[in-house]
Amino acid sequence: MAEATELASAASSRDPRIGLRAVAALRKLLEQLESVQVRNARNRGWSWQEIAVELGVSRQAVHKKHGRS
């Protein structure tokens, strides 16, 4: 969690190089967290539709992105 907090702070840096690097790192972290939680939900028997609702996307989008996970 400390890493995310540090990255969020760096993302507001006045130095664009630092800010953009932090944004890229946050994007990567977010993708990893999403994958972990989708896998968690599927292991608990959630449908693709239930997951999609919580992520605010379509069932097709979440299945296309995570269906092979």
pLDDT in tens, 3-27: 888 998 999 999 999 999 999 999 9
Q: What integer is the mean pLDDT of 29-38?
A: 96
> pLDDT grade, residue 48 (50/70/90)?
very high
Classify 67 as helix, strand or coil. Answer: coil
Q: At which residue do the structure tokens 């994958």 appear? A: 35
**What is the Cα–Cα distance from 2 to 7, expressed in whole angstroms?**
9
Q: What is the pTM of this model?
A: 0.84
For the chain, give the number of residues.
Answer: 69
**What is the Cα–Cα distance from 69 to 57, expressed in whole angstroms?**
17
Answer yes or no: are the C-beta atoms of 51 and 43 closer than 8 Å.
no
Residue 39 has pLDDT above 80, yes or no: yes
